[in-house]
Chain A
Amino acid sequence: MDFQTFLQQFVNALSLGSLYALIAIGYTMVYGILRLINFAHGDIFMVGGYLAFYGLSTFLLPWWLAVIMAIAVTTIFGVGLERVAYRPLRDSPRISIMISAIGASFLIENLAIVLFDARPKAFHVPEFLARNFILDGVHIASVSLVIPVVTAVILAFLLWMVHRTRVGMAMRAVSTDIEASRLMAIDVNQIVSITFAIGSALAAIGGILWALKYPRLEPLMGIMPGLKCFIAAVIGGIGSIGGAVLGGLLLGIIELMTVAFLPELTGYKDAFAFVLLIVVLLVKPTGLLGKNQGEKV
């Protein structure tokens, strides 16, 4: 493999990794606050992609309006989902709330099959994003440039929000101890809703970027990216935003680089993430940047 091919693969890996990172942040924030694997996150991601598609193709909105509408509606959807499916179970055993999450994901997928049709749809990529740059023999799609930039901006914003604002402080408090933060007069429900809003908005952005990168929409398209991004969040250390980004980038790079260097492993591509997950869980269950939380008796 020459340097040029390496560079090409690295550019691809960076953009895929940033996309993983973007979705992983949503997982990590929800898990940090509620200790819940939001299985439906991948499906919210799918809904975001579809809404943008309908905005563009059916309602013929300009692309920026379609994107904003899709993000807004998906956000409302995510917050509503928490209200309906997770809030009534907040004090139930963790298994119940997880089954509820699985059920929600199941329901959204099946509803999507009914409402959006099971046949794949082609996503129309706006002209200015469909262009390719050729830099020193390396092909760079515009989307591949946009994704890392979007992720970096969002990461900076979230880090600022979580560490510098009152809402962020409340979030950190709730993630440390829900009961204690209630006693400190923090409106836990509101904080949870805000977290879900942010997570769903990120999922929507991720879904739209995904549709730009792979312009093909299916009702079940959220499952695999959803699982992989959760794994990315675990690898980075669940609950830590920086960790999610690190995990996402690592996963993207490992996935594409392994295939690039060992093409005979291409068929096993989808298994890398899971193998990585099991290894990380066994060696360092808290992930790369996670904090160790002792078992409470």
Chain B
Amino acid sequence: MNTSLSKKQPMSRDSILTLGAAVVGLVLLFIFDGMFDPFTMQIFKLCAINIILALSLNLINGFTGLFSLGHAGFMAVGAYTCAILTMSPEQKEVNYVLVPIVPWLANVQLPFVPALLIGGLFAGFIGWFLGVVALRLRDDYLAIATLGFSEIIRVLLTNAQSVTNGSLGLKGLPRFTTMWWAWGAAVLITLFLVLLIKSSYGRAFKSIRDNEIAAESMGIDVFGMKVMSFTISSFLAGIAGGLLAHYLTTIDPKQFIFLKTFDILLIVVLGGVGSITGSVVAAIVVTVAMEALRFLDGPLNLGFMITTGVPGLRMVFFSALLMIVVIYRQQGLMGKSEFSWEALSRIGLLPRRASSAKGGK
């Protein structure tokens, strides 16, 4: 690949294209910010949050090959930590009606960004702990153990009333997740993951996925790498959880039931297990489609008859889609391949580059 860019060389075509795309993206965001009505804006923000969630799940399921189903739990940790830290003391008093909040949390109030980071770090710490404990397990045992762990977190959140306000949840959180925060975080995290996957760590993750025993014999610290991937993934899930909390402004433990993990899994599988591009595209498509297909839940005009509203039909569609993709197109949208300008010119959307015509390197 033509990535060796010395300083005096003019910028390669790919860098120019990337820069151009970034500028166009930024301008688009700016236009959207002014143009969208509040409802469209909410969905647009949700896209960004779902991108982060899908990427973090893909890091562990797709790139490291560890089937984890504990994401809802890590999200919950991030969401609750961030929410409790940003709430003002007055707001806390309003919320904690049944059992007063523990004194050491009552007067804490942090700005959004530190709270978000602390939420992510705490989720990452929990992930590290679970990783050290559970990553000795494999395949389905790991899946069921992580699923169990996320349920344990949910039960703890429901019962630790003096800290989390139990099943009453937290209401009236400040609406901090603006479009710039949501998309800024999504873009940053996407870039981070692209670099991570290309780094030696990323290659180590992928080698573990492809063949654990071979990876170990090549001198890779398999267990350490697994724990690291797991920790990063939970950190990102925690960040997404914090963003989600300040996007919804209301959280309660029931939102973080493990079915939430399945929603993210749907995005990852549709996009392609092991493809960053796939996760990003699928997150946007699925989020928009979830809203666009809302009409399925209402009365339908089938031409020859009009059905009464069938709530839930929308989710039937998505679960059926998941089944069809798994059975007939396991690689999902992108398989393991990624977006590149190179690939665009290969399918003829862009003119071929001079250097690739000369024969690669």
B 295-339 binary contact with A (CB < 8 Å = 1; else 0): 000000000000000111101101110110011001000000000
CB of A131 within 8 Å of the partner chain: no
Interface size class for chain B? 35 or more
Q: A114 contacts B326, CB within 8 Å?
A: no
**Nearest A residue (CB) for B136:** A282
Cα A98 to Cα B262 with chains together (Å): 12
A 250-291 binary contact with B (CB < 8 Å = 1; else 0): 000000000000000001101101110110011001000000
For B222, the chain A residues whose CB sits under 8 A away are none
Q: A281 contacts B145, CB within 8 Å?
A: yes
Our pick among A102, A106, A114, A275 for the contact of B313 (Cβ within 8 Å) is: A114
Our pick among B143, B323, B330 for the contact of A98 (Cβ within 8 Å) is: B143
Cα A83 to Cα B269 with chains together (Å): 21
Q: A104 contacts B145, CB within 8 Å?
A: no
Q: A98 contacts B155, CB within 8 Å?
A: no
Whether A271 touches B152, Cβ cut-off 8 Å, given contacts A102-B262, A113-B315, A277-B145, is yes
**Nearest A residue (CB) for B326:** A100
A244 smallest CB distance to B (angstroms) = 15
Residues of A within 8 A of B (CB): 35-37, 84-85, 88-89, 92, 94-96, 98-100, 102-104, 106-107, 109-111, 113-114, 118, 223, 227, 230-231, 234, 267-268, 270-271, 273-275, 277-278, 281-282, 285, 297
Whether A110 touches B155, Cβ cut-off 8 Å, given contacts A94-B140, A274-B149, A278-B134, is no
Our pick among B61, B311, B322 for the contact of A103 (Cβ within 8 Å) is: B322
For A118, the chain B residues whose CB sits under 8 A away are 311-312
Residues of B within 8 A of A (CB): 61, 65, 67, 133-134, 136-137, 139-141, 143-145, 147-149, 151-152, 155-156, 158-159, 213, 259, 262, 265-266, 269, 273, 310-313, 315-316, 318-320, 322-323, 326-327, 330
For A103, the chain B residues whose CB sits under 8 A away are 319, 322-323, 326
Say whether chain B's binding surface is mostly helix, strand, loop, or mixed.
helix
Cα A64 to Cα B287 with chains together (Å): 47
B94 smallest CB distance to A (angstroms) = 24
**Nearest B residue (CB) for A100:** B326
The 7 A-B residue pairs with the shortest CB-CB distance, nearest first, are: A274-B148, A113-B312, A107-B319, A271-B155, A106-B319, A267-B159, A103-B322
